[in-house]
Chains A and B, each alone.
Chain A
Amino acid sequence: MIELFGMEWPWLLWKLVQILLFVIVLLVGLAFLLLMDRKVWAAVQLRRGPNVVGPFGLLQSFADFLKFVFKELIIPAGSDKVLFILAPIITLVTAFGVWAVVPAAPGWVISNLNLGVLYILAISSLGVYGIIIGGWASNSKYPFLGALRSTAQMISYEVSIGFILITVLLLVGSLNLTEIVNAQAGGFWNWHALMLDFGDPKSLILFPVMFYMFVLFCISALAETNRPPFDLPEAESELVAGYQVEYSSTAYLLFMIGEYLNIVLMCAMLTVMFLGGWHAPLDVKLSFMPQIPPFFWFAGKVVFMFFLFAMVKAIVPRYRYDQLMRLGWKVFLPSSLVAIVIVSTYVMMFGRTAVGLAGGG
Protein backbone atom coordinates (compact mmCIF):
# COMPACT_ATOMS: atom_id res chain seq x y z
CA MET A 1 0.00 0.00 0.00
CA ILE A 2 1.40 3.36 -0.97
CA GLU A 3 1.65 5.83 1.87
CA LEU A 4 1.48 9.58 1.55
CA PHE A 5 1.58 12.15 4.34
CA GLY A 6 1.54 9.33 6.88
CA MET A 7 -1.85 8.13 5.76
CA GLU A 8 -2.75 5.26 3.57
CA TRP A 9 -3.82 6.23 0.09
CA PRO A 10 -7.39 4.93 0.29
CA TRP A 11 -7.95 6.81 3.55
CA LEU A 12 -6.73 10.06 2.06
CA LEU A 13 -8.77 9.56 -1.10
CA TRP A 14 -11.83 8.69 0.98
CA LYS A 15 -11.45 11.93 2.98
CA LEU A 16 -11.07 13.96 -0.20
CA VAL A 17 -14.18 12.33 -1.66
CA GLN A 18 -16.02 13.05 1.60
CA ILE A 19 -15.04 16.71 1.52
CA LEU A 20 -16.00 17.03 -2.14
CA LEU A 21 -19.33 15.33 -1.50
CA PHE A 22 -20.01 17.54 1.52
CA VAL A 23 -19.28 20.70 -0.45
CA ILE A 24 -21.44 19.66 -3.39
CA VAL A 25 -24.35 18.60 -1.19
CA LEU A 26 -24.08 21.84 0.77
CA LEU A 27 -23.99 24.00 -2.34
CA VAL A 28 -26.89 22.26 -4.06
CA GLY A 29 -28.87 22.23 -0.81
CA LEU A 30 -28.09 25.91 -0.41
CA ALA A 31 -29.43 26.66 -3.88
CA PHE A 32 -32.81 25.22 -2.94
CA LEU A 33 -32.77 26.77 0.55
CA LEU A 34 -32.22 30.15 -1.11
CA LEU A 35 -35.21 29.51 -3.32
CA MET A 36 -37.23 28.43 -0.29
CA ASP A 37 -36.21 31.62 1.49
CA ARG A 38 -37.54 33.71 -1.39
CA LYS A 39 -40.67 31.60 -1.80
CA VAL A 40 -41.55 31.87 1.91
CA TRP A 41 -40.93 35.57 1.82
CA ALA A 42 -43.09 35.90 -1.27
CA ALA A 43 -45.88 33.80 0.24
CA VAL A 44 -46.02 36.00 3.33
CA GLN A 45 -46.33 39.07 1.11
CA LEU A 46 -48.94 37.39 -1.14
CA ARG A 47 -46.62 37.28 -4.12
CA ARG A 48 -45.65 34.31 -6.28
CA GLY A 49 -41.91 34.54 -5.88
CA PRO A 50 -39.52 33.19 -8.52
CA ASN A 51 -41.57 30.98 -10.84
CA VAL A 52 -40.13 31.40 -14.32
CA VAL A 53 -36.91 29.37 -14.49
CA GLY A 54 -37.73 25.67 -14.41
CA PRO A 55 -40.88 24.11 -12.91
CA PHE A 56 -42.12 26.28 -9.98
CA GLY A 57 -38.92 28.33 -10.41
CA LEU A 58 -36.85 25.44 -9.03
CA LEU A 59 -33.83 26.36 -11.15
CA GLN A 60 -33.90 30.06 -10.23
CA SER A 61 -30.84 29.83 -7.95
CA PHE A 62 -28.78 28.19 -10.68
CA ALA A 63 -29.79 30.88 -13.16
CA ASP A 64 -28.76 33.51 -10.60
CA PHE A 65 -25.47 31.72 -10.11
CA LEU A 66 -24.70 31.86 -13.84
CA LYS A 67 -25.75 35.48 -13.97
CA PHE A 68 -23.35 36.42 -11.17
CA VAL A 69 -20.46 34.49 -12.64
CA PHE A 70 -20.77 36.00 -16.12
CA LYS A 71 -21.01 39.59 -14.93
CA GLU A 72 -18.06 41.92 -14.90
CA LEU A 73 -15.99 42.07 -11.71
CA ILE A 74 -15.54 45.73 -10.88
CA ILE A 75 -12.70 46.65 -8.56
CA PRO A 76 -12.95 50.29 -7.46
CA ALA A 77 -9.90 52.38 -8.36
CA GLY A 78 -9.46 53.68 -4.82
CA SER A 79 -9.74 50.27 -3.19
CA ASP A 80 -7.05 48.17 -1.62
CA LYS A 81 -7.02 45.58 -4.40
CA VAL A 82 -5.45 42.61 -2.60
CA LEU A 83 -7.66 42.89 0.48
CA PHE A 84 -10.69 43.67 -1.68
CA ILE A 85 -10.34 40.30 -3.41
CA LEU A 86 -9.24 38.52 -0.23
CA ALA A 87 -12.30 39.49 1.84
CA PRO A 88 -14.99 37.41 0.09
CA ILE A 89 -12.59 34.47 -0.11
CA ILE A 90 -12.08 34.61 3.67
CA THR A 91 -15.83 34.65 4.19
CA LEU A 92 -16.39 31.64 1.93
CA VAL A 93 -13.46 29.56 3.23
CA THR A 94 -14.33 30.04 6.90
CA ALA A 95 -18.00 29.37 6.17
CA PHE A 96 -17.12 26.05 4.54
CA GLY A 97 -14.39 25.21 7.06
CA VAL A 98 -16.77 25.25 10.01
CA TRP A 99 -18.86 22.48 8.46
CA ALA A 100 -15.98 20.00 8.84
CA VAL A 101 -17.10 19.04 12.36
CA VAL A 102 -20.88 19.09 11.92
CA PRO A 103 -22.26 15.54 12.13
CA ALA A 104 -25.19 14.98 9.76
CA ALA A 105 -25.84 11.34 10.68
CA PRO A 106 -24.05 8.66 12.76
CA GLY A 107 -20.49 8.74 11.45
CA TRP A 108 -21.29 11.23 8.71
CA VAL A 109 -18.74 13.78 9.75
CA ILE A 110 -15.48 14.74 8.09
CA SER A 111 -13.53 15.27 11.30
CA ASN A 112 -14.87 13.96 14.60
CA LEU A 113 -12.95 16.46 16.72
CA ASN A 114 -13.05 16.21 20.51
CA LEU A 115 -13.13 19.99 20.71
CA GLY A 116 -15.77 20.34 18.01
CA VAL A 117 -17.76 23.13 19.65
CA LEU A 118 -14.63 25.14 20.29
CA TYR A 119 -13.54 24.61 16.68
CA ILE A 120 -16.86 25.95 15.44
CA LEU A 121 -16.59 29.02 17.67
CA ALA A 122 -12.97 29.63 16.67
CA ILE A 123 -13.40 29.30 12.92
CA SER A 124 -16.71 31.14 12.74
CA SER A 125 -15.14 34.03 14.66
CA LEU A 126 -12.74 34.34 11.72
CA GLY A 127 -15.72 35.06 9.48
CA VAL A 128 -15.86 38.61 10.85
CA TYR A 129 -12.69 39.40 8.94
CA GLY A 130 -14.30 38.86 5.58
CA ILE A 131 -16.79 41.59 6.39
CA ILE A 132 -14.50 44.04 8.17
CA ILE A 133 -11.71 43.73 5.57
CA GLY A 134 -14.19 43.94 2.71
CA GLY A 135 -15.75 47.05 4.20
CA TRP A 136 -12.44 48.76 4.72
CA ALA A 137 -10.83 47.74 1.43
CA SER A 138 -13.74 49.19 -0.56
CA ASN A 139 -12.53 52.64 0.53
CA SER A 140 -16.04 54.00 0.57
CA LYS A 141 -18.29 55.33 3.32
CA TYR A 142 -21.29 53.00 3.22
CA PRO A 143 -19.22 49.79 3.21
CA PHE A 144 -17.07 51.13 6.01
CA LEU A 145 -20.01 52.02 8.23
CA GLY A 146 -21.60 48.67 7.44
CA ALA A 147 -18.41 46.84 8.36
CA LEU A 148 -18.15 48.70 11.67
CA ARG A 149 -21.74 47.90 12.56
CA SER A 150 -21.36 44.29 11.57
CA THR A 151 -18.18 43.77 13.56
CA ALA A 152 -19.57 45.24 16.76
CA GLN A 153 -22.75 43.23 16.33
CA MET A 154 -21.05 39.91 15.62
CA ILE A 155 -18.59 40.26 18.49
CA SER A 156 -21.39 41.14 20.91
CA TYR A 157 -23.55 38.17 20.02
CA GLU A 158 -20.64 35.74 19.86
CA VAL A 159 -20.29 36.25 23.60
CA SER A 160 -23.85 35.28 24.39
CA ILE A 161 -23.72 32.36 21.93
CA GLY A 162 -20.63 31.10 23.76
CA PHE A 163 -22.41 31.30 27.11
CA ILE A 164 -25.52 29.57 25.77
CA LEU A 165 -23.39 26.73 24.41
CA ILE A 166 -21.75 26.32 27.81
CA THR A 167 -25.09 25.33 29.35
CA VAL A 168 -25.40 22.51 26.79
CA LEU A 169 -21.79 21.48 27.32
CA LEU A 170 -22.33 21.31 31.08
CA LEU A 171 -25.28 18.96 30.62
CA VAL A 172 -23.40 16.69 28.21
CA GLY A 173 -19.90 16.92 29.61
CA SER A 174 -18.24 16.83 26.23
CA LEU A 175 -17.32 19.21 23.43
CA ASN A 176 -17.67 16.52 20.80
CA LEU A 177 -20.68 17.23 18.61
CA THR A 178 -21.40 13.53 18.02
CA GLU A 179 -21.54 12.92 21.77
CA ILE A 180 -23.77 15.94 22.24
CA VAL A 181 -26.21 14.48 19.70
CA ASN A 182 -26.05 11.03 21.28
CA ALA A 183 -26.81 12.51 24.70
CA GLN A 184 -30.19 13.55 23.30
CA ALA A 185 -31.18 10.11 21.99
CA GLY A 186 -34.41 8.41 22.92
CA GLY A 187 -37.11 10.92 22.14
CA PHE A 188 -37.97 14.56 22.01
CA TRP A 189 -38.17 14.80 25.81
CA ASN A 190 -34.41 14.30 25.93
CA TRP A 191 -33.68 17.15 23.53
CA HIS A 192 -31.88 20.03 25.20
CA ALA A 193 -34.52 22.42 23.95
CA LEU A 194 -37.30 20.54 25.71
CA MET A 195 -35.91 18.55 28.69
CA LEU A 196 -39.35 17.11 29.54
CA ASP A 197 -38.33 13.74 30.92
CA PHE A 198 -41.18 12.99 33.34
CA GLY A 199 -39.47 9.76 34.39
CA ASP A 200 -36.87 11.94 36.09
CA PRO A 201 -38.88 14.71 37.80
CA LYS A 202 -35.93 16.70 39.12
CA SER A 203 -34.69 17.27 35.57
CA LEU A 204 -37.89 19.19 34.87
CA ILE A 205 -36.24 22.15 36.63
CA LEU A 206 -34.09 22.43 33.53
CA PHE A 207 -36.99 22.71 31.09
CA PRO A 208 -37.67 26.46 31.46
CA VAL A 209 -33.95 27.26 31.55
CA MET A 210 -32.98 25.22 28.53
CA PHE A 211 -36.01 26.24 26.49
CA TYR A 212 -35.14 29.85 27.20
CA MET A 213 -31.56 29.13 26.12
CA PHE A 214 -32.92 27.61 22.89
CA VAL A 215 -34.92 30.76 22.14
CA LEU A 216 -31.94 32.97 23.01
CA PHE A 217 -29.75 30.93 20.68
CA CYS A 218 -32.26 31.35 17.85
CA ILE A 219 -32.25 35.13 18.28
CA SER A 220 -28.49 35.32 18.75
CA ALA A 221 -28.03 33.22 15.62
CA LEU A 222 -30.10 35.75 13.67
CA ALA A 223 -27.96 38.58 14.98
CA GLU A 224 -24.71 36.70 14.48
CA THR A 225 -25.43 36.03 10.81
CA ASN A 226 -26.75 39.55 10.08
CA ARG A 227 -30.18 38.18 9.29
CA PRO A 228 -33.28 40.33 9.54
CA PRO A 229 -34.45 41.74 11.94
CA PHE A 230 -30.80 42.38 12.79
CA ASP A 231 -29.50 43.06 9.27
CA LEU A 232 -28.29 46.54 10.18
CA PRO A 233 -24.90 46.11 8.45
CA GLU A 234 -26.73 45.90 5.13
CA ALA A 235 -29.85 47.89 5.95
CA GLU A 236 -30.86 49.21 2.55
CA SER A 237 -32.69 52.24 3.90
CA GLU A 238 -29.62 53.43 5.80
CA LEU A 239 -26.49 51.99 4.21
CA VAL A 240 -27.61 50.89 0.72
CA ALA A 241 -26.11 47.41 1.08
CA GLY A 242 -23.51 47.89 3.80
CA TYR A 243 -20.17 46.22 3.27
CA GLN A 244 -21.31 44.72 -0.05
CA VAL A 245 -21.91 48.02 -1.83
CA GLU A 246 -18.76 47.95 -3.96
CA TYR A 247 -18.87 44.24 -4.67
CA SER A 248 -20.14 42.86 -7.93
CA SER A 249 -20.19 39.60 -9.85
CA THR A 250 -18.42 36.57 -8.38
CA ALA A 251 -17.02 38.48 -5.40
CA TYR A 252 -20.54 39.37 -4.32
CA LEU A 253 -21.63 35.80 -4.98
CA LEU A 254 -18.92 34.51 -2.62
CA PHE A 255 -20.13 36.90 0.09
CA MET A 256 -23.70 35.76 -0.41
CA ILE A 257 -22.86 32.04 -0.38
CA GLY A 258 -20.75 32.54 2.75
CA GLU A 259 -23.52 34.41 4.48
CA TYR A 260 -26.16 31.80 3.66
CA LEU A 261 -23.79 28.98 4.64
CA ASN A 262 -23.42 30.63 8.02
CA ILE A 263 -27.17 30.85 8.38
CA VAL A 264 -27.58 27.17 7.54
CA LEU A 265 -24.72 26.41 9.91
CA MET A 266 -26.60 28.16 12.70
CA CYS A 267 -29.67 26.03 11.85
CA ALA A 268 -27.45 22.94 12.00
CA MET A 269 -25.98 24.08 15.32
CA LEU A 270 -29.47 24.53 16.74
CA THR A 271 -30.34 21.05 15.49
CA VAL A 272 -27.23 19.45 16.95
CA MET A 273 -27.21 21.33 20.24
CA PHE A 274 -30.88 21.60 21.09
CA LEU A 275 -33.04 19.51 18.76
CA GLY A 276 -31.40 16.11 19.01
CA GLY A 277 -29.48 16.11 15.74
CA TRP A 278 -30.30 13.03 13.68
CA HIS A 279 -32.49 11.37 16.33
CA ALA A 280 -36.17 10.94 15.63
CA PRO A 281 -38.63 12.77 17.90
CA LEU A 282 -40.27 9.47 18.80
CA ASP A 283 -38.04 6.45 18.82
CA VAL A 284 -40.56 3.86 17.64
CA LYS A 285 -39.64 1.04 15.31
CA LEU A 286 -42.60 -0.37 13.45
CA SER A 287 -41.96 -3.54 11.52
CA PHE A 288 -44.23 -2.70 8.59
CA MET A 289 -42.73 0.76 8.13
CA PRO A 290 -39.34 1.30 6.55
CA GLN A 291 -36.85 2.96 8.93
CA ILE A 292 -36.30 6.61 8.11
CA PRO A 293 -32.56 7.22 7.65
CA PRO A 294 -31.10 9.48 10.38
CA PHE A 295 -29.85 11.97 7.83
CA PHE A 296 -33.41 12.88 6.87
CA TRP A 297 -34.25 13.77 10.45
CA PHE A 298 -31.19 16.00 10.58
CA ALA A 299 -31.95 17.64 7.23
CA GLY A 300 -35.61 18.01 8.13
CA LYS A 301 -34.82 19.79 11.38
CA VAL A 302 -32.33 22.07 9.63
CA VAL A 303 -34.87 22.95 6.95
CA PHE A 304 -37.53 23.56 9.62
CA MET A 305 -35.24 25.96 11.47
CA PHE A 306 -34.40 27.67 8.18
CA PHE A 307 -38.12 28.02 7.52
CA LEU A 308 -38.49 29.76 10.90
CA PHE A 309 -35.60 32.08 10.04
CA ALA A 310 -37.22 32.88 6.69
CA MET A 311 -40.54 33.63 8.42
CA VAL A 312 -38.76 35.94 10.85
CA LYS A 313 -37.18 37.74 7.90
CA ALA A 314 -40.59 38.25 6.35
CA ILE A 315 -42.54 39.23 9.44
CA VAL A 316 -40.36 41.16 11.87
CA PRO A 317 -39.38 44.82 11.35
CA ARG A 318 -35.75 45.85 11.61
CA TYR A 319 -34.22 46.68 14.98
CA ARG A 320 -32.56 49.98 15.79
CA TYR A 321 -28.85 49.69 16.41
CA ASP A 322 -28.78 50.84 20.05
CA GLN A 323 -31.66 48.51 20.84
CA LEU A 324 -29.73 45.67 19.27
CA MET A 325 -26.71 46.37 21.45
CA ARG A 326 -28.91 46.74 24.52
CA LEU A 327 -30.55 43.39 23.82
CA GLY A 328 -27.20 41.66 23.42
CA TRP A 329 -25.34 43.08 26.39
CA LYS A 330 -28.07 43.91 28.90
CA VAL A 331 -30.55 41.08 28.33
CA PHE A 332 -28.93 38.07 26.69
CA LEU A 333 -25.58 38.17 28.45
CA PRO A 334 -26.85 38.44 32.07
CA SER A 335 -29.66 35.95 31.57
CA SER A 336 -27.39 33.37 29.96
CA LEU A 337 -24.94 33.85 32.84
CA VAL A 338 -27.77 33.14 35.30
CA ALA A 339 -28.69 30.06 33.26
CA ILE A 340 -25.09 28.81 33.51
CA VAL A 341 -25.25 29.17 37.29
CA ILE A 342 -28.55 27.25 37.46
CA VAL A 343 -27.41 24.47 35.13
CA SER A 344 -24.02 24.03 36.78
CA THR A 345 -25.71 23.92 40.20
CA TYR A 346 -28.01 21.22 38.86
CA VAL A 347 -25.07 19.27 37.46
CA MET A 348 -23.19 19.53 40.76
CA MET A 349 -26.22 18.38 42.77
CA PHE A 350 -27.75 15.66 40.61
CA GLY A 351 -25.08 14.80 38.06
CA ARG A 352 -25.35 15.07 34.31
CA THR A 353 -28.58 14.25 32.58
CA ALA A 354 -26.72 12.42 29.84
CA VAL A 355 -24.82 9.96 32.06
CA GLY A 356 -27.32 7.14 31.65
CA LEU A 357 -27.50 7.71 27.94
CA ALA A 358 -23.81 7.91 27.15
CA GLY A 359 -22.85 5.44 24.49
CA GLY A 360 -26.41 5.02 23.27
CA GLY A 361 -27.81 5.95 19.90
Chain B
Amino acid sequence: MFVEMLPAIAFYILAATAVGMAFMVIASRNPVHSVVFLIGTFLASAGLFVLMGAEFLALLLIMVYVGAVAVLFMFVVMMLDVDFVEMKQGFLQYLPIGGVVACILLAEMILVGAASLVNPGAGVKFAEDGTSNIEAIGNVLYTEYAFFFEAVGLILLLAMVGAIVLTLRKRDGVKTQNISEQIARTREGGVELVDIKPGEGIGS
Protein backbone atom coordinates (compact mmCIF):
# COMPACT_ATOMS: atom_id res chain seq x y z
CA MET B 1 0.00 0.00 0.00
CA PHE B 2 2.80 2.32 0.93
CA VAL B 3 4.58 1.30 -2.25
CA GLU B 4 1.80 2.49 -4.53
CA MET B 5 1.74 5.85 -2.80
CA LEU B 6 5.43 6.40 -3.27
CA PRO B 7 5.35 8.13 -6.68
CA ALA B 8 2.63 10.43 -5.38
CA ILE B 9 4.66 11.28 -2.28
CA ALA B 10 7.73 11.94 -4.40
CA PHE B 11 5.66 14.09 -6.73
CA TYR B 12 4.28 16.22 -3.92
CA ILE B 13 7.70 16.66 -2.33
CA LEU B 14 9.30 17.64 -5.63
CA ALA B 15 6.42 19.86 -6.71
CA ALA B 16 6.33 21.63 -3.35
CA THR B 17 10.09 22.13 -3.51
CA ALA B 18 9.85 23.52 -7.03
CA VAL B 19 7.07 25.95 -6.13
CA GLY B 20 8.70 26.99 -2.86
CA MET B 21 12.06 27.54 -4.53
CA ALA B 22 10.42 29.46 -7.36
CA PHE B 23 8.75 31.70 -4.79
CA MET B 24 12.05 32.25 -3.04
CA VAL B 25 13.64 33.26 -6.36
CA ILE B 26 11.52 36.42 -6.36
CA ALA B 27 11.28 36.78 -2.60
CA SER B 28 14.93 36.68 -1.60
CA ARG B 29 16.69 40.01 -1.22
CA ASN B 30 20.05 38.94 -2.55
CA PRO B 31 20.20 38.26 -6.31
CA VAL B 32 22.83 35.55 -5.84
CA HIS B 33 20.51 33.74 -3.45
CA SER B 34 17.82 34.08 -6.12
CA VAL B 35 20.02 32.24 -8.59
CA VAL B 36 20.76 29.53 -6.03
CA PHE B 37 17.02 29.05 -5.51
CA LEU B 38 16.56 29.03 -9.28
CA ILE B 39 19.01 26.13 -9.46
CA GLY B 40 16.95 24.37 -6.78
CA THR B 41 13.84 24.88 -8.92
CA PHE B 42 15.60 23.39 -11.94
CA LEU B 43 16.72 20.37 -9.95
CA ALA B 44 13.22 19.78 -8.55
CA SER B 45 11.74 20.01 -12.05
CA ALA B 46 14.35 17.55 -13.28
CA GLY B 47 13.13 15.22 -10.54
CA LEU B 48 9.56 15.65 -11.84
CA PHE B 49 10.77 14.69 -15.32
CA VAL B 50 12.31 11.53 -13.91
CA LEU B 51 8.98 10.69 -12.25
CA MET B 52 7.30 11.01 -15.66
CA GLY B 53 9.80 8.56 -17.13
CA ALA B 54 11.61 11.21 -19.17
CA GLU B 55 15.08 10.71 -17.69
CA PHE B 56 16.81 11.96 -20.83
CA LEU B 57 15.00 15.29 -20.59
CA ALA B 58 15.78 15.43 -16.88
CA LEU B 59 19.50 14.99 -17.40
CA LEU B 60 19.42 17.42 -20.32
CA LEU B 61 17.68 19.98 -18.13
CA ILE B 62 20.40 19.63 -15.50
CA MET B 63 23.18 19.74 -18.08
CA VAL B 64 21.92 22.70 -20.09
CA TYR B 65 20.10 24.84 -17.57
CA VAL B 66 21.88 24.08 -14.33
CA GLY B 67 25.29 23.33 -15.78
CA ALA B 68 25.49 26.17 -18.28
CA VAL B 69 22.69 28.74 -18.26
CA ALA B 70 22.42 29.19 -14.49
CA VAL B 71 26.20 29.37 -14.22
CA LEU B 72 26.18 32.30 -16.63
CA PHE B 73 23.32 33.90 -14.67
CA MET B 74 25.34 33.59 -11.51
CA PHE B 75 28.43 34.82 -13.31
CA VAL B 76 26.64 38.03 -14.30
CA VAL B 77 24.68 38.52 -11.09
CA MET B 78 27.77 38.11 -8.92
CA MET B 79 29.49 40.94 -10.72
CA LEU B 80 26.53 43.33 -10.54
CA ASP B 81 26.80 46.20 -8.14
CA VAL B 82 23.16 46.35 -7.13
CA ASP B 83 21.64 49.09 -5.05
CA PHE B 84 18.95 47.17 -3.19
CA VAL B 85 17.07 50.23 -1.94
CA GLU B 86 16.71 51.56 -5.45
CA MET B 87 15.69 48.17 -6.73
CA LYS B 88 12.86 47.91 -4.21
CA GLN B 89 11.43 51.29 -5.25
CA GLY B 90 10.47 50.10 -8.70
CA PHE B 91 8.50 47.20 -7.26
CA LEU B 92 5.07 48.90 -7.13
CA GLN B 93 5.61 50.56 -10.47
CA TYR B 94 6.00 47.23 -12.25
CA LEU B 95 3.34 45.42 -10.25
CA PRO B 96 0.48 45.85 -12.81
CA ILE B 97 2.41 44.53 -15.80
CA GLY B 98 3.83 41.69 -13.73
CA GLY B 99 0.33 40.87 -12.56
CA VAL B 100 -0.95 40.73 -16.15
CA VAL B 101 1.82 38.33 -17.15
CA ALA B 102 1.12 36.17 -14.10
CA CYS B 103 -2.60 36.08 -14.91
CA ILE B 104 -1.91 35.00 -18.51
CA LEU B 105 0.39 32.23 -17.32
CA LEU B 106 -2.18 31.10 -14.75
CA ALA B 107 -4.90 31.02 -17.41
CA GLU B 108 -2.67 28.94 -19.69
CA MET B 109 -1.96 26.46 -16.93
CA ILE B 110 -5.65 26.13 -16.10
CA LEU B 111 -6.39 25.54 -19.79
CA VAL B 112 -3.74 22.82 -20.00
CA GLY B 113 -5.04 21.20 -16.84
CA ALA B 114 -8.60 21.35 -18.09
CA ALA B 115 -7.59 19.87 -21.44
CA SER B 116 -5.97 16.89 -19.76
CA LEU B 117 -9.08 16.42 -17.59
CA VAL B 118 -11.39 16.45 -20.61
CA ASN B 119 -9.17 14.20 -22.69
CA PRO B 120 -7.17 12.06 -20.27
CA GLY B 121 -4.01 10.41 -21.56
CA ALA B 122 -3.51 12.94 -24.33
CA GLY B 123 -0.62 14.63 -22.61
CA VAL B 124 2.34 12.34 -22.33
CA LYS B 125 2.94 9.72 -25.00
CA PHE B 126 5.22 6.95 -23.91
CA ALA B 127 7.59 5.32 -26.34
CA GLU B 128 6.96 1.75 -27.41
CA ASP B 129 8.64 -1.00 -25.47
CA GLY B 130 12.29 -1.56 -26.12
CA THR B 131 13.16 1.92 -27.31
CA SER B 132 14.91 4.01 -24.75
CA ASN B 133 14.12 7.63 -24.13
CA ILE B 134 17.01 8.95 -26.13
CA GLU B 135 16.26 6.71 -29.12
CA ALA B 136 12.62 7.76 -29.18
CA ILE B 137 13.53 11.45 -29.20
CA GLY B 138 16.25 10.96 -31.79
CA ASN B 139 13.92 9.03 -34.08
CA VAL B 140 11.44 11.88 -34.13
CA LEU B 141 13.89 14.77 -34.04
CA TYR B 142 16.05 13.68 -36.96
CA THR B 143 13.26 12.43 -39.24
CA GLU B 144 9.92 14.17 -38.81
CA TYR B 145 11.26 17.39 -37.37
CA ALA B 146 14.66 17.43 -39.06
CA PHE B 147 13.90 20.67 -40.89
CA PHE B 148 12.78 22.48 -37.75
CA PHE B 149 15.70 21.10 -35.83
CA GLU B 150 18.17 22.44 -38.38
CA ALA B 151 16.31 25.74 -38.62
CA VAL B 152 16.63 26.16 -34.86
CA GLY B 153 20.31 25.38 -35.14
CA LEU B 154 20.73 28.07 -37.79
CA ILE B 155 18.84 30.61 -35.70
CA LEU B 156 21.04 29.87 -32.72
CA LEU B 157 24.14 30.21 -34.88
CA LEU B 158 22.85 33.54 -36.16
CA ALA B 159 22.22 34.73 -32.62
CA MET B 160 25.72 33.72 -31.63
CA VAL B 161 27.33 35.47 -34.59
CA GLY B 162 25.16 38.52 -33.93
CA ALA B 163 26.27 38.71 -30.31
CA ILE B 164 29.89 38.44 -31.34
CA VAL B 165 29.54 41.10 -34.04
CA LEU B 166 27.85 43.47 -31.60
CA THR B 167 30.58 43.20 -28.99
CA LEU B 168 33.67 42.75 -31.11
CA ARG B 169 35.63 45.92 -31.73
CA LYS B 170 39.14 46.49 -32.86
CA ARG B 171 41.16 48.74 -30.63
CA ASP B 172 44.50 50.17 -31.57
CA GLY B 173 47.49 49.79 -29.36
CA VAL B 174 46.36 46.55 -27.72
CA LYS B 175 49.01 43.88 -27.55
CA THR B 176 47.65 40.45 -28.38
CA GLN B 177 49.45 37.23 -29.00
CA ASN B 178 49.46 35.95 -32.57
CA ILE B 179 50.28 32.29 -32.17
CA SER B 180 50.80 31.45 -35.84
CA GLU B 181 53.12 34.44 -36.21
CA GLN B 182 55.10 33.26 -33.19
CA ILE B 183 55.41 29.74 -34.50
CA ALA B 184 56.39 30.98 -37.97
CA ARG B 185 59.40 32.84 -36.57
CA THR B 186 62.69 31.44 -37.82
CA ARG B 187 66.27 31.82 -36.72
CA GLU B 188 67.01 34.01 -39.73
CA GLY B 189 64.30 36.52 -38.81
CA GLY B 190 64.90 36.54 -35.09
CA VAL B 191 68.62 36.34 -34.45
CA GLU B 192 71.36 38.61 -35.68
CA LEU B 193 74.97 37.82 -34.97
CA VAL B 194 77.08 40.92 -34.57
CA ASP B 195 80.83 40.84 -34.39
CA ILE B 196 81.76 43.45 -31.80
CA LYS B 197 85.22 44.76 -31.38
CA PRO B 198 86.32 44.88 -27.75
CA GLY B 199 85.69 48.21 -26.04
CA GLU B 200 83.43 49.64 -28.74
CA GLY B 201 79.96 48.25 -28.10
CA ILE B 202 77.15 48.30 -30.66
CA GLY B 203 75.14 51.15 -32.03
CA SER B 204 76.23 54.39 -33.52
Contacts and interface: CB of A to CB of B under 8 A. Distances in A.
Contact of A115 (B32, B59, B78): B59
Interface in B109-151: 132-134
Contact of B134 (A125, A151, A175): A175
Given A126-B67, A132-B75, A175-B134, A5 B6 contact: yes
B63 A121 contact: yes
Contacts of B33: 83
Given A5-B3, A175-B134, A148 B75 contact: yes
A155 B74 CA distance: 13
Contacts of A122: 59-60, 62-63, 66-67
Contact of B3 (A6, A83, A118, A155): A6
A128 interface: yes
A132 B74 contact: yes
Secondary structure at the B interface, as helix, strand, loop or mixed, is helix
Contact of B67 (A6, A128, A322): A128
Contacts, number: 77
A158 interface: yes
A144 B75 CA distance: 11
B51 interface: no
A6 B6 contact: yes
B152 interface: no
A146 B191 CA distance: 39
A299 B59 CA distance: 28
Contact of A155 (B6, B66, B68, B132): B68
Contacts of A118: 56, 59-60, 63, 134
Interface string A115-132: 100110111011011001
A83 B56 CA distance: 30
Given A6-B3, A115-B55, A128-B67, A151 B75 contact: yes
B186 interface: no
B106 to A, nearest CB: 31
Contact of B62 (A4, A126, A323): A126
Interface string A21-37: 00000000000000000
Interface of A: 3-6, 80, 83, 114-115, 118-119, 121-123, 125-126, 128-129, 132-133, 136, 144, 147-148, 151-152, 155, 158, 175, 322-323, 326
Smallest CB-CB A-B distances: 10 pairs:
A125-B67, A6-B3, A122-B62, A122-B63, A118-B59, A122-B59, A136-B78, A114-B132, A6-B6, A128-B71
Given A5-B3, A115-B56, A118-B60, 4 more contacts: A3-B3, A83-B36, A115-B132, A122-B63
